[in-house]
Amino acid sequence: MSTCMVLVGVQWGDEGKGKIVDVLCEHFDTVVRYQGGANAGHTVVVNGRRFILQLIPSGILRPGKTAVIGNGVVLDPDALLRELQALKQAGVEVDGRLLVSDRCHLILPHHRAHEVAAEAARGADKIGTTSKGIGPTYEDKAGRRGLRACDLQDEQTFYRRFKEAEGSWRPEAAGGQPGGDALQQAAVDYYQKARLITPFLTGVSAYLNRQLDDGKRVLFEGAQGTLLDLDHGTYPYVTSSSAAAGGAATGAGIGPTRIQGVIGVSKAYATRVGSGPFATEAYGADGEKLRERGSEYGAVTGRPRRCGWFDVPAARYSARLNGLTALVITKLDILDHLAEIPVGVAYEYEGRTLDDFPADAEVLENVRVTYRTLPGWQQNTFGLTRFEDLPEKARDYLDFLAAEVGVPVVMVSTGPERHQTIWRQDHPLVRAWAQAG
Ligand code: IMP
């Protein structure tokens, strides 16, 4: 029987999904990205070697697995080619193992220019985007004027559509557009590179549905995190795509009824890059210590991440939105030094406890968080591989998170390498995986 699972970030991205996908891959045939673009940075360490994958699913690092980029992804051909080159240099054989949807929208030069200008115009209110042209590309998609990968098939049509698309933005907003010959040259330069991706293009929906019909095991890999989801995240401080599990269906062309389970990945604490509300943010020495111990710097932008404590109301909201069936907790070892660990368990706003995650970013910005302080274990957990070997207080901490969020913890990551992972062998889901091979 086929298996179809979605893996998502429970928080604001950077939960360590790349490593978890790499570990889970062993049990799947195909790994699929369904949204976002080169704004993501999935760090995977294999035999001491560090790979940062921005577009290609981490499944590519496992021989014999197929990596798929679904139609919901916005594609920067140059970024894809650079990534392919880096994999090739590292000796990773990609040929025949990467498929890219011919319906992916293309990130064009004006998208990046426009994003930089739009962020500058927002001043102190900026989103803190990754400057990869993600938002404006999705704007063009929704505005029905975008270019898609299938438009690369015919050179002359591509030039015409490129010029139309570039010209559709107000020149002053994008910091000045090239016109005439310069625009023609920009189109030619873009096409010369972008056409190199055409051998990877295919109808991904048909491929994936065939795979599932044939009893194959398919894993969907969310980028960013649920709280950055365009509809459900901390709007407007979000990314422009559907990062939550529902995005997998539209972003790859499979029916929602195909999905059998959703795995949520969360750090044992919390981080966020860019602007926007972060109720359990830790300021001063506490936050700095987490950043330093967890090496919390953006994989794509190098920006220091804001750090804080596990946020139960946010995780519960995320569990509900995604229909989480399993939880994976990463970077547990980063908390090893602490005598006490605060966990945010409720939000209070204007004197009353909120019963749901607020829609309004300004409300979230001003909630008062109720904390529960749990005892730390102050022992080394780095690299442990068996649940029984964890200090009792670390196990209690994990049990507490699972009970509060209402989702079982099936896996714990205790370091960046594949083997630094604890599977909860006692959990039926894990046993079912093991049986399925
Ligand atoms: P954009 O996706 O570049 O438009 O950025 C929108 C927001 O999402 C900003 O706050 C970014 O910092 C954040 N963001 C985008 N991609 C990631 C990611 O992969 N990890 C964490 N934050 C991200």
222 CA distance to ligand 1 middle (Å): 13
Nearest ligand 1 atom to alpha carbon 40: 19
Choose one of 76, 130, 235 to mutate for the ligand 1 pocket test, by most ligand atoms within 8 angstroms of C-beta.
Answer: 130
* Nearest-10 Cα torsion for 87, 88, 90, 92: 80
127 CA distance to ligand 1 middle (Å): 9
Write down the pLDDT at residue 61. 92
Report whether residue 18 contacts ligand 1, using a CB cutoff of 6 Å: no
Burial 84-120 (b: 16+ CB within 10 A, else e): beebeeeebeeeebbbbbbbbbbbbbbbbbbbbbbbe
* Percent of the chain whose predicted confidence (pLDDT) is above 70: 96
Write down the pLDDT at residue 48. 82
- pLDDT tens digits, 66-102: 999 999 999 999 999 999 999 999 999 998 999 999 9
- Residue pair 368/407 in contact (Cβ under 8 Å)? The answer is no
Report whether residue 265 contacts ligand 1, using a CB cutoff of 6 Å: no
- pLDDT tens digits, 116-146: 999 999 999 899 999 999 999 999 999 999 9
| Token reading at 40 | 């993501």
Write down the pLDDT at residue 434. 65
Average pLDDT, the chain: 93
Report whether residue 53 contacts ligand 1, using a CB cutoff of 6 Å: no
Q: Are strands 66-69 and 98-101 parallel, antiparallel or unpaired?
A: parallel
pLDDT bracket for residue 171 (50, 70, 90): low
Residue identifier of the C-alpha nearest atom 20 of ligand 1: 13
Write down the pLDDT at residue 83. 95
Report whether residue 39 contacts ligand 1, using a CB cutoff of 6 Å: yes
Nearest ligand 1 atom to alpha carbon 39: 16
Q: Residues, the chain, total?
A: 437
- pLDDT tens digits, 188-216: 999 999 999 999 999 999 999 999 999 99
Secondary structure of the chain in the HEC alphabet? CCEEEEEEECCCCCCCHHHHHHHHHHHCCEEEECCECCCCCEEEEECCEEEEECCCCHHHHCCCCEEEECCCEEECHHHHHHHHHHHHHCCCCCCCCEEEECCCEECCHHHHHHHHHHHHHHHHHCCCCCCCCHHHHHHHHHCCCCCEHHHHHCHHHHHHHHHHHHHCCCCCCCCCCCCHHHHHHHHHHHHHHHHHHHHHEECHHHHHHHHHHCCCEEEEECCCCHHHCCCCCCCCCCCCCCCCCCHHHHHHCCCHHHCCEEEEEEECCEEECCCCCCCCECCHHHHHHHHHHCCCECCCCCCECEEECCEHHHHHHHHHHHCCCEEEEECHHHHCCCCEEEEEEEEEECCEECCCCCCCHHHHHCCEEEEEEEECCCCCCCCCCCHHHCCHHHHHHHHHHHHHHCCCEEEEECCCECCCEEECCCCHHHHHHHHHC
Report whether residue 62 contacts ligand 1, using a CB cutoff of 6 Å: no
pLDDT bracket for residue 44 (50, 70, 90): confident
329 CA distance to ligand 1 middle (Å): 21
Tell whether the model's pLDDT for residue 175 goes beyond 80: no
| Active site (catalytic) residues | 14, 42
> Shortest CA distance to 333 belongs to which of 291, 403, 372, 380?
380
Choose one of 129, 242, 265 to mutate for the ligand 1 pocket test, by most ligand atoms within 8 angstroms of C-beta.
Answer: 129
Report whether residue 14 contacts ligand 1, using a CB cutoff of 6 Å: yes
247 CA distance to ligand 1 middle (Å): 16
Write down the pLDDT at residue 433. 67
Report whether residue 224 contacts ligand 1, using a CB cutoff of 6 Å: yes
240 CA distance to ligand 1 middle (Å): 9
Q: State phi, psi for 366 to the nearest 5 degrees.
A: -110, 15
Q: What is the mean pLDDT of residues 356-368?
A: 97
Whole-angstrom distance, CA of residue 100 vs CA of residue 33: 10
